[in-house]
Amino acid sequence: MFVLLRALTYASIFIGVLLVYLPASILASAGVARPPGPGGAQIAGMIMVAVGVALALWCVLTFAFVGKGTPAPFDPPRRLVVSGPYRFVRNPMYIGAGLALLGVAVYYGSASLFLAVAIFLLIVFVFILAYEEPTLRRMFGDDYEAYTRRVGRFWPRWPRKAAE
């Protein structure tokens, strides 16, 4: 239960910074106001945010219950997580966060937020290549290597059996 509390705390801070504080700061500095009413872009943006946040929370819960850890690099899972959304793609949490941030950009129609999404995705990509994947290789060895052969880094696909 304590690991779930830690995971939800870290996720709340991450989501609060990424999806509330950062967009609000960018919008305020760009002088972008809230749209007057819900149009097609706002509805599409809200759906994207909801799907992205749901995916990210599913990842957090999977880390807590299956991996016995959190998404935070300083409190990682104790077990390799290859179930839940990780069955289809190795980085679903980043995809969920990126989709939610993109939804905010669509909602507001903000070029500044679209740029923030691109920067976020670039930072995530570099972080994954430079830190996360080498760390997972050290922690989980052959199991992680087998996982990388079965499951794509960013593009979801149906899982293949280990023998294939």
Structure tokens at 27: 């919008």
How large is the angle between the packed helices 92-108 and 111-127, nearest 10 degrees?
170
Average pLDDT over residues 19-35: 81
Residue 9 CA to residue 139 CA, distance in Å, equals: 24
Q: What is the pLDDT of residues 50-65, one digit of tens each?
A: 999 999 999 999 988 8
Q: What is the pLDDT of residues 73-94, one digit of tens each?
A: 888 888 999 999 999 999 999 9
pLDDT (0 to 100) of residue 164: 47
Structure tokens at 44: 């599409």
With bands split at pLDDT 50, 70 and 90, how would you rate the model's confidence at 160?
A: low
4 in Cβ contact with 98 (< 8 Å): no
**Which residues does 15 contact at the CB level (< 8 Å), separation at least 6?**
53, 56, 97, 100
